[in-house]
Amino acid sequence: MITKQLAEFGLGNRYEDFPPSLVEAAKYLLLDTVGCAIGAVDTPPGEALRRIVRQSGPGVATVLGTGQKTSVSMAAWANGRLGNVLDMDECYKVQGHHAQATLGAALALCEEQGRTGRDLLGAFIMGFEVGVRLGNYLSPRVTVDEKGRTRGWTGLVGPGQGVHAACAAAARLNGLSTEPLADAFGNCAQYMVGRDWSRQWGRDTMLGTLKYADTGWNAREGVRGIRDIFDSNSYGQVF
């Protein structure tokens, strides 16, 4: 039931239902994430990323700050990776960052499909919210007091939240229904990382961020996944 509920939540809520304050906050977060990505373009990891993108050939989606065109999945990965290179992107509690993954998927698909800014914001908002709720579910030890100070540490770090947040954003733009999104969550779970990896977050682990390339495309093409992935107690214990 938990997986189904999360999928229903991620696909629900129309743009018209969002409070104006939420839309403004989302715009700020989106611009901040874009700035983080552009600022990383000329760093050593950014230059390596651009070389990798060139190997994938031309496409319809743009890598931020470069003018390079590549495939939708490669652009989703590249922009998600760039957004975290400087480690100056947003942080929810102490669970890490997932706005860059969400934006990477949403931006690439919106460019491919010729979507509007409202479509981009709607997918970005709901994808990000899916990541927040998944983090809360798997990391109940983290608390925030009335002054905004955090206590505790999470077993689920940003990469874990990011892959599912990006998946939800892509699912909205691809027009998926609840069951295919639940399948996609199950497929994306193979990219999650847990406690041991989280201790290595300061290293430049570019291959680990390849998860952003799989954000709902399999489900769109009918590939089945573990549809009740979040309903297992053992799954929560691992992460």
pLDDT of residue 134: 84
Q: Looking at the 3D structure of the chain, how many domains does it have? A: 1
The answer to whether position 43 is within a domain reads yes
The answer to whether position 221 is within a domain reads no
For residue 72, the cross-strand partners are: none
pLDDT of residue 178: 93
Give Cβ neighbours of residue 175 (< 8 Å, ≥ 6 apart).
Answer: none
Taking a C-beta distance cutoff of 8 angstroms, is the pair 127, 173 a contact? no
- DSSP designation for 204: -
Taking a C-beta distance cutoff of 8 angstroms, is the pair 145, 21 a contact? no
pLDDT of residue 194: 55
CATH number at residue 38: 1.10.4100.10
The answer to whether position 100 is within a domain reads yes
pLDDT of residue 87: 86
pLDDT of residue 189: 75
The answer to whether position 152 is within a domain reads yes
The answer to whether position 47 is within a domain reads yes
Q: What is the mean pLDDT of each run of 10 residues along the chain (239 residues)?
A: 92 94 97 97 94 92 96 91 90 77 94 97 96 78 71 61 88 92 84 55 48 59 80 62
Q: Which domain covers residue 167, as residue numbers? A: 2-141+148-202
The answer to whether position 17 is within a domain reads yes
The answer to whether position 230 is within a domain reads no
Start-to-end CA distance of the chain, whole Å, equals 19
The answer to whether position 191 is within a domain reads yes
For residue 150, the cross-strand partners are: 144
